[in-house]
A and B are shown apart, each in its own frame.
Chain A
Amino acid sequence: MKSRKKILGGEIKQYTMVIALVVLIIVFHIATGGRMITSSNMQNLISGNAYVLVLAIGMLMVIVIGQIDLSVGSVAGFVGMVTAISARNFELPWWIAVLIGIAVGLIIGAWQGFWLSKFGIPGFITTLGGQMIFRGAVIWISKSISVPAPKELKIFGAGHLPDFGREFTGMNNSTLILGLLVIGWYIFSQLRKRAKETKLTHESQPVLPLVIRIVLMSIAIGYLTHLFGTGRTGTSFPVPGLILVALVIIYHIVTTRTRFGRHIYAVGGNKSAAALSGVNVQKTYFLTMLNMSFLAALAGIMFIGRSTAAGPSDGTGWELDAIAAVFIGGAAVSGGVGTVMATIVGGLVMAVLNSGLMLLGVGADRTQVIKGLVLLLAVAFDVYNKTQGKKSIVGMIQQNFNRLKKTEKSDNSKLTAR
């Protein structure tokens, strides 16, 4: 047990959801007769769900501050439509249309943040209003007719990395390079972490667990690289997946290592206490809502890239998918608890369920029932564990987060000392 803990770096609890996800994938792989874990299905899984996961990142932060955003689907749909219309009607280059779309997203975010932070209108109401306003606006500006999206956007919604040298390696080399970079980075970060710990504790850490950890992780990443890299010629790890990974890294750092990130958890945990200890609650609210609409704008643009057109009912119900991902990932309804990583895993659980059930030919009706039950059971499991006095998954994630905070604090104090 102890040695296992050492190999996994004391983070075994955080992997519960990941293990559940892996088991789910394997079960579906067997049930579908080997159709689940194929390059093309995994590529589809990523590019077909990237936009929901992008929304989920923002939604996590909104839920952590104790609010909720019901408008994200409408905002995504509206921004997608604005982008498509500005490219078609005003014949603007695609990138200007995208910038306009993102600017509109930011303006909408500022609008929602304004009502929440300055007027103190609960996010539920502000964004319920926003949901209606922007749904109506999409239909209004589009006259209820779909508008083709600029061709160049396809790369953001369904694009692949350049394919070269396949005859030498038998796979997509962009993906290969990407995989090697990730492995390299992982080894580097593990070694650096070890050096740091040695320096702090003045005792050398055992080498074997570290080596096993690096080998296991390299095999996992190597396998994924192979999986995504050996699809049809011209396919690779999908570009929307790459955008998602970049965002996950950025927001993981923002939520765990920055002042703004700490403020989000502080405000969500106890608003008054946070205010008394000098956190600008209004500003935190404002920035979180602004950020949510920004991500909704990105999701909307990614979606029209994949759909090749912006439609009047784009985004309907997306807010619920994003919220479900956040709660399956173990966030607390009352706020203050939840992580970006766990949210992504939660979103992937939903995505895998969707994909697996479709491959099995289960209809949309029953899929919906199953997804609803999974959401309920995932949260119930967590609540049950808490009431039984056992460690809750959420608590464990939170604990892990606290641990991180502690190390950071020591980092910070070191900085100030310097």
Chain B
Amino acid sequence: MSSKRIASLLIALTMLFAATVSIAEAPAGFEADATIGVSLPWLGTQNWMEANDMFKTQLEAAGFKAIVQAADQKVPQQQQQIESMIENGVKVIVVGPIDGTQLGVVLEQAKADGIYVIGYDRMIENTDAVDGVVQYGSIQTGVTQGEALLAGLAAQKGEGPYNIELFGGGPADPNAPNFFIGAMSVLQPKIDDGTLVVVSGQTEFSQCATLDWENNKAQARMDSLLSGFYSDIEIHGVLSPNDGIARAIITASEQAGQEIPVVSGLDAENETITWIWEGRQYSTVAKPTDILVAKTIEIIKSLQEGNGMPETETQIYNGLVDVNVYELPPVAVTRENIEEVFANDPSRMELLK
């Protein structure tokens, strides 16, 4: 082998080595006062409203500039908002997707511009243009709801068997089927052994789903279930995927002249806190927005400092790639522990009077 050839081989090897090193190197950070974009699905429920305000204040408190927008539950609107954030030169985009499957093209644009994409509260599916997702474990949320329903039935409705009905969330929201799966993992064994009776026989997610999480649609379904199946029997419990739907269910039951059934919930909305305190709704599951927002901002800070995405144990396959998921545990809330859970939340404690 001629010395020339060896030299060129050496050069090639060095270059290869240099390339590997530069790949392994942590991604560069960005300015401490960079702009961060937050795209939320809408402001129609309290948790999104809270997220809207908290992102604004906490991002600014952390020294960033914040663009926080909500898309009124319209997918094209959200796509365009994300594009306008890219135009505005943001470094990170936090997305609470309306439909986790429908943002592929715009998020790929963001990725091409070197922008980090963090999913907030909901999975972002079918694209590799997502760096991580921060959410409360959605299956775990469902499990908590199911357990709370069972506990409530035992506490308030005497001995079984109990008549129950099931409600699911908005099918376009990737979390909704997971809530249902989680809850059914607790309820199905009890249905099989006869402790629970779903009188209408509607136990498939697609039968129980509530399009777009709309309360009036849930109320209409509950009305027809009550008039169709419960004209001469009592309903004991209802699995509800969130608080809005829980209130719709309770209202429908009262109007049908039923005693209020044990109803689960989610989000710990103000109105629900009052209802639980008054004993009208048995339980809800709190996924405190401030913790979720704080976790998201912690990740953004890590990116800003150039440390990349933090380590996490959970990876979820989104249909295309495994996505890093930062899961937080949800909290079941009943009248017994409500004061304890919201001890640090003065605005909610205000309601318990």
* Interface set of A (CB-CB < 8 Å, partner B): 35, 38, 40-41, 44, 48, 51, 139, 143-146, 148, 154, 157-158, 232, 303, 306-309, 311-314, 316-317, 354-355, 358-359, 361, 363-365, 368
Q: Are B72 and A364 in contact (CB under 8 A)?
A: yes
Contact at B105–A158, with CB atoms within 8 Å?
yes
Residues of A within 8 A of B67 (CB): 361
Q: How far is the CB of A90 from chain B (nearest CB, A)?
A: 19
How many angstroms from the CA of A394 to the CA of B79 in the assembled complex? 34
A146 close to B172 (CB less than 8 A):
yes
Whether the Cβ atoms of B102 and A40 lie closer than 8 Å is: no
**B205 → A minimal CB distance (Å):** 9
Chain A nearest CB from B224 CB (Å) reads: 16
B34 to chain A, nearest CB (A): 16
**Is the CB–CB distance between B209 and A363 below 8 Å?**
no
Closest to B107 in A: A308
Q: How far, in angstroms, from A316 to B172 measured CA to CA in the complex? A: 13
Question: What would be 16 A-B contacts, judged by CB atoms less than 8 Å apart?
Answer: A35-B87, A41-B84, A44-B87, A48-B76, A48-B80, A144-B206, A146-B99, A148-B319, A308-B102, A313-B212, A317-B74, A359-B88, A363-B69, A364-B71, A364-B74, A365-B72
Q: Are A309 and B104 in contact, with the CB atoms below 8 A? A: yes
- Contact: A308 with B80, CB < 8 Å? no
- Is B105 in contact with A154, judged by CB distance below 8 angstroms? yes
Contact present for A48 and B83 (CB under 8 Å): yes
Contact of A358 with B80 in the complex, beta carbons under 8 Å: yes
**Are B83 and A309 neighbours in the complex by a CB distance under 8 Å?**
no
Residue from A307, A312, A368 within 8 A of B211 (CB atoms) = A312
A41–B73 Cα distance when bound, in Å, is: 22
B67, B69, B83, B86: residue with the most chain A Cβ atoms closer than 10 Å = B83
Q: Do A364 and B69 have beta carbons less than 8 Å apart?
A: yes
A144 touches B172 (CB 8 A): yes
B172 and A306 form a contact (CB under 8 A) = no
A313 touches B69 (CB 8 A): no
Q: Are A143 and B104 in contact (CB under 8 A)?
A: no
Which one of B69, B70, B72, B80 has the highest number of Cβ atoms from chain A below 10 Å of its Cβ? B80
B112 at the interface (CB under 8 A from A): yes
Q: Could you say which residues of chain A place their CB within 8 Å of the CB of B127?
A: 308
Whether the Cβ atoms of B126 and A354 lie closer than 8 Å is no
Q: Which residues of B contact A (CB under 8 A)?
A: 42-43, 67-77, 79-81, 83-84, 86-88, 99, 101-105, 112-113, 126-127, 171-172, 177, 206, 209, 211-212, 319
B75 touches A41 (CB 8 A): no
Instruction: Pick the contact of A313: B80, B112, B211 (CB < 8 A).
Output: B211
Let me know if A361 and B69 touch, CB within 8 A: yes
Interface contacts beyond A145-B171, A363-B43: sample of 13 additional A-B pairs, CB < 8 Å, sorted by A: A44-B84, A48-B80, A144-B172, A307-B101, A308-B102, A308-B127, A311-B101, A311-B172, A312-B171, A355-B84, A361-B67, A364-B42, A364-B69
- A358 near B211 with CB under 8 A, answer no
The one of A41, A307, A354, A355 in contact with B105, judged by C-beta atoms closer than 8 angstroms, is: A307
In the bound assembly, the distance between CA atoms of A146 and B176 in angstroms comes to: 13
Q: With A35-B87, A143-B206, A364-B71 as given contacts, are A358 and B81 in contact (CB-CB < 8 Å)?
A: yes
**Contact partners of B113 in chain A: CB under 8 A:** 232
Residue on A nearest B78 in the bound complex, by CB = A364
Q: Are A148 and B87 in contact (CB under 8 A)?
A: no
Contact A35 B88 (CB under 8 A): yes
Q: Does the CB pair B72–A44 fall under 8 Å? A: no
Residues of A within 8 A of B81 (CB): 358
CB-based contact B209/A44 at 8 Å: no
Q: CA A312 – CA B86 in complex, angstroms?
A: 27
Q: What 8 A-B pairs come out closest when comparing CB atoms?
A: A144-B171, A308-B104, A309-B101, A364-B72, A307-B102, A358-B84, A44-B83, A158-B105
Q: A35 vs B212: C-alpha distance in the bound complex, in angstroms?
A: 33
A35-B87, A307-B79, A317-B74 known; A146 and B102 CB under 8 Å?
A: yes
Which one, A144, A146, A317, A355, contacts B101 given CB within 8 A? Answer: A146
With CB as the reference atom, state the residue of chain B lying closest to A303: B76
Q: Are B72 and A148 neighbours in the complex by a CB distance under 8 Å?
A: no
A358: B residues at CB distance < 8 A = 69, 80-81, 84
When C-beta atoms are compared, the residue in chain A nearest to B52 turns out to be A363
Task: Tell me whether A308 and B101 are in contact in the complex, defined as CB-CB below 8 angstroms, given that A144-B171, A144-B172 are known contacts.
Answer: yes
Query: Chain B: which residue is nearest A351 at the CB level?
Result: B80
Task: Tell which of A40, A146, A303 touches B86, judged by Cβ atoms closer than 8 Å.
Answer: A40
Point out the residues of chain A lying under 8 angstroms from B84, CB to CB. 35, 41, 44, 355, 358-359
- CB of B72 within 8 A of CB of A368, answer yes
Contact B79 A306 (CB under 8 A): yes
Q: Are B74 and A316 in contact (CB under 8 A)?
A: yes
Q: Report Cα–Cα, A232/B83, bound state, in Å.
A: 14
How far, in angstroms, from A365 to B69 measured CA to CA in the complex? Answer: 10
Of chain B, the residue at the smallest CB distance from A36 is B87
Residues of B within 8 A of A144 (CB): 171-172, 206, 209, 211
Alpha-carbon distance A48/B206, docked complex (angstroms): 31
Which partner residue on chain B sits nearest A305 by CB separation?
B105
Measured between alpha carbons, how far is A35 from B35 in the docked complex, in Å?
15
Question: Shortest Cβ distance from A328 into chain B, in angstroms?
Answer: 18
Q: Distance (Å) between the CB of B128 and the closest chain A CB? A: 12
Query: Given A35-B87, A44-B83, A354-B80, A311 and B69 touching (CB < 8 A)?
Result: no
Q: Which residues of A contact B99 (CB under 8 A)?
A: 146, 307, 309, 311, 313
Chain A residues with CB below 8 A from B86, complex form: 40
Interchain nearest-CB distance for A129 vs B (Å): 19
Closest to A361 in B: B67
Q: How far is the CA of A98 from the CA of B127 in the complex (A)?
A: 22
For residue A365, give the distance in angstroms from its CB to the closest CB of chain B. 7
Q: Provide the bound-state CA to CA distance between A308 and B97, in Å.
A: 14
Taking the nearest CB of chain A, how far is it from the CB of B38, in angstroms? Answer: 11
Tell me whether A307 and B75 are in contact (CB under 8 A): yes
**Bound CA span A312–B126, Å:** 17
Task: Report the minimum CB–CB distance from B54 to chain A (whole Å).
Answer: 16
Candidate in A44, A365, A368 with the most chain B CB atoms within 10 angstroms: A44
Residues of B within 8 A of A158 (CB): 105
Task: Return the contact of A157 from the options B77, B105, B171, B172 (Cβ within 8 A).
Answer: B105
Instruction: Report chain B residues within 8 Å CB of A143.
Output: 171, 206
Using CB atoms, name the residue of chain A closest to B126: A148
Question: In the complex, A154 Cα to B105 Cα: how many Å?
Answer: 8
Contacts of A38 in B (CB 8 A): 87
In the bound complex, how far is the Cα of B171 from the Cα of A188, in angstroms? 55
* Smallest Cβ-Cβ distance to B320: which chain A residue: A148
Inter-chain CA distance A41–B206, complex, in Å, is: 39
The smallest C-beta distance from A315 to any residue of chain B, in angstroms, reads: 10
Q: Which residues of A contact B102 (CB under 8 A)?
A: 146, 307-309, 311
Given contacts A309-B99, A309-B102, is CB(A40)–CB(B87) below 8 Å? yes
A77 to chain B, nearest CB (A): 11
Cα–Cα distance between A316 and B177 once the two chains are bound (Å): 22
CA distance A226 to B267 in the complex (A): 50
Closest to A135 in B: B211
